Amino acid sequence: MDAIVIAGGIPQPEEPLYEYTQGIPKAMLEVAGKPMVQWVLDALGDAKNVENVIIIGLDDADSVTCAKPTYHIPNQGRMLSNIQAGIDKMREINPKSEYVISSSADIPAITGEMIDWLVDTALETRHDIYYGVVKKETMEARYPDSNRTFTKLQDMELCGADIHIAHHTMTTDPEHLAVWDVLIGKRKQPLKQAASVGIWTLVLLLLGRISLADAVARVSKKLNIDARALIWDYAEAAMDVDKPHQLEMLRADLEKK
């Protein structure tokens, strides 16, 4: 399976990480001696289930490396457009490929073993999207000071991972493009995600009366897709860097390696 790495985001002056980035891509922030995105690329390079890596948004192609064949695409301006461009490149490289990994560049603690688990687990079935989640207890056991925002469901509290798998048709069918707008464009806003699915879904979420399985079923029906939620046992998949304390926490954690 090929992998897309979204690496072009540049924090703006009103965003928490701007004091660190000062106009450079967040992916290039130094973490334990190398750019943050390099940790992700090293994990993809170590993963047995990854064939090619497509990096989106880094102008300096020589600034990072990967053990797998690597391709660069300019930043397309929007998350959805970047994913579309990455899947188009995947089809160019491997016309017979069906699925692609989509990863953010700000999960530096991810490892090749974890990525192999993702691919092996996803391909036990055939779905359109495999959307990763991490339970609150998993996250807090690994990163007790992460201060992540969790969504409370009937059967668990969880947060979204930052690495997923999708079938290539998710960007060729105009109807499916709405999936990415909902699941990725509003990934930090669970109430808005629920409202996009339907007002009753939002009400059930607010009341804590919707389970993960029910939420997946409602999203699948609303968006006319066949989705599957993958519950990670690895908190690293959801430990992204949005705020200074998360950056410093991961710097300290990865320095130990």
The residue assigned the tokens 């390696």 is: 257
Nearest to 129 by CA among 82, 171, 86: 171
For residue 178, the surrounding DSSP H or E stretch is helix 177-183
The predicted model scores a pTM of 0.90
Position 112 scores a pLDDT of: 98
What pLDDT is recorded for position 218? 81
Beta-bridged to residue 73, according to DSSP, are: 56
Would you say residue 31 has pLDDT above 70?
Answer: yes
What's the pLDDT score for residue 214? 85
Which position has the higher pLDDT, 42 or 197? 42
pLDDT of amino acid 191:
55
Give residue-wise pLDDT tens across range 206-218: 556 688 898 888 8
**How many whole angstroms separate alpha carbon 183 and alpha carbon 225?**
12
Q: Helix, strand, or coil here: 158?
A: strand
pLDDT at 46 over 80: yes
Model confidence at 30: pLDDT above 90: yes
d(CA 112, CA 5): 14
The backbone torsions φ and ψ at residue 56, rounded to the nearest 5 degrees and listed phi first, read -115, 125
Give the pLDDT score at 3: 97
> What local confidence, expressed as pLDDT, does residue 174 receive?
65
What is the C-alpha separation between 108 and 254, in angstroms, rounded? 8
Question: Contacts for 189-198 with beta carbons within 8 Å, 24 or more apart?
Answer: 190/149, 190/151, 196/222, 197/222, 197/223, 198/222
CB neighbours (10 Å) of residue 252? 10
CA 194 to chain centre: 19
Q: How confident is the model at residue 132 (pLDDT cuts 50, 70, 90)?
A: very high
**Nearest by Cα to 148 from 234, 229, 230, 242:** 242
Over residues 150-169, mean pLDDT: 90
**142: pLDDT strictly greater than 80:** yes
Tell me: pLDDT of 228 over 80.
yes
Predicted confidence band at 71 (pLDDT cuts at 50, 70, 90)?
very high
**C-beta of residue 64 within 8 angstroms of C-beta of residue 35:** yes
CA distance 235 to 105: 16
Q: Which amino acid is at 217?
A: A
Mean residue pLDDT across the chain: 87
pLDDT at 135: 96
Phi/psi at 227 (5° precision): -100, 155
Higher-pLDDT residue of 194 and 83 is 83
> Worst-scoring range by mean pLDDT, 78-92, 117-131, 145-159, 178-192?
178-192
Which of 40-54, 144-158, 184-198 shows the lowest per-residue confidence on average (mean pLDDT)?
184-198
- Please choose, from the candidates 167, 99, 111, 158, the residue with its C-alpha nearest in 3D space to the C-alpha of residue 132: 158
* 237, 134 contact by CB (below 8 A): yes
Average pLDDT over residues 29-41: 97
| Structural domains of the chain, ranges and CATH numbers in brackets | 2-255 (3.90.550.10)
> Is residue 43 pLDDT above 60, yes or no?
yes
